[in-house]
Amino acid sequence: MAAKTVRGGWLLSLPALVLLAVAAVGPLLIMVVYSFLLPGEYGNVEWGFSFDAWTGILFTRDVFDDTLRLEDAHLSILLRSVNLSLLTTIFTFAVGFPTAWFIATRPQRQRALWLFLITIPFWTNLLIRTLAINEIIRAEGLLNNILIGLGLIDQPLQIIYTDTAVFIGMTYVYLPLMVLPLFAAIDRFDMRLLEAGYDLYATRFQVLRRIIVPVVKPGIIAGSILVFVPALGAYVTPRILGGGKQMMIGNFIELQFGQGRNWPLGAALSVTLLVIVTAALLVYVRFANREVRHG
């Protein structure tokens, strides 16, 4: 009877599994295959086995003696992507933690309103939100006009088309993804633990480090993953606020499939991005399992 039930469950799940295999695993396999082929003259691929795409991620061949040398431009893009994603994660946590704590400590009737305000940006298209940030930080934008009006600066600050602009844009876009998991963790926090800590003469910093942070650690890890993963593969925000000058790995992949006409390199970069994201998710799973083992 149990075997029949299990068999019936698998049969019911079969359409979803087939759809998942076709829609998710299928394109991934195509990218893996393409990464070991030769680039076509006008795009697409030529069916010949080659490791050139994987080598081209970090190295380039000299046109005279065919020796390999480090490709500084590619390495710079990869490092910029990881650095900006990490900075975005850290800053969203620095802003999101006190925000989530404030919401979680409000009266029950007020929490829904504050959460509603946090989720409002999700109602607007990402492109529109990014353009709104562009209007604020550009040379003739709201920020520079206010600073000049207050007499704090004489010339507009050149923020747009820099790493700073991309960082500001991604922080704004992904901040709710940090606040919501933190709120969920803090909302379950037993406030009596704070009283116990203060009764034992712990300082505020000791209470934060040894009571609050360990208890809400699953929310911190979940929020960090939710911010880091999409920030690493961001395309729209770096494209608009970076202006094509401050390129990230998502823009670089699009460039290879478009103007670069090097589909194998684009495929290899896509798989590399997937590996980095998978590594981040494995870290999250490891920490989550450790929390389960320790209750």
pLDDT in tens, 245-257: 778 999 999 999 8
Are 194 and 228 in contact by the 8 Å Cβ rule? The answer is no
For residues 189 and 182, what is the distance between their CA atoms, to the nearest angstrom?
11
The reply to whether 169 falls in a domain is yes
Instruction: Kindly tell me if the per-residue pLDDT of 105 is higher than 60.
Output: yes
The reply to whether 16 falls in a domain is no
The reply to whether 109 falls in a domain is yes
pLDDT of residue 290: 66
What's the pLDDT band for 291 if we cut at 50, 70, 90? low
pLDDT of residue 215: 86
pLDDT of residue 102: 93
The reply to whether 41 falls in a domain is yes
The reply to whether 285 falls in a domain is yes
CATH number, domain with residue 64: 1.10.3720.10
For tokens 């010339």, the residue is 155
What is the average per-residue pLDDT within 18-34?
Answer: 85
Range of the domain at 39: 35-293
Give CA separation, 163 vs 140, 159, 241, in Å: 19, 8, 9
For residues 150 and 154, what is the distance between their CA atoms, to the nearest angstrom?
10
pLDDT of residue 108: 84
Quick one: 22 exposed, middle or buried, by C-beta within 10 A (0-12, 13-18, 19+)? exposed
- Greatest mean pLDDT range, 4-8, 48-52, 87-91, 115-119: 87-91
Instruction: Give the model confidence (pLDDT) of 162-179 as tens digits.
Output: 899 999 999 999 999 999
Which range, of 2-6, 8-12, 234-238, 280-284, averages the lowest pLDDT? 2-6
Instruction: Give the model confidence (pLDDT) of 82-91 as tens digits.
Output: 999 999 999 9
The reply to whether 88 falls in a domain is yes
What's the pLDDT band for 292 if we cut at 50, 70, 90? low
Report the percent of the chain where pLDDT is more than 70: 94
Domains in the chain, number: 1
The reply to whether 10 falls in a domain is no
The reply to whether 194 falls in a domain is yes
Alpha helices in the chain (DSSP H): 2-20, 26-34, 52-55, 72-104, 108-119, 126-137, 142-149, 163-187, 192-199, 204-207, 213-215, 217-232, 236-241, 249-257, 263-293
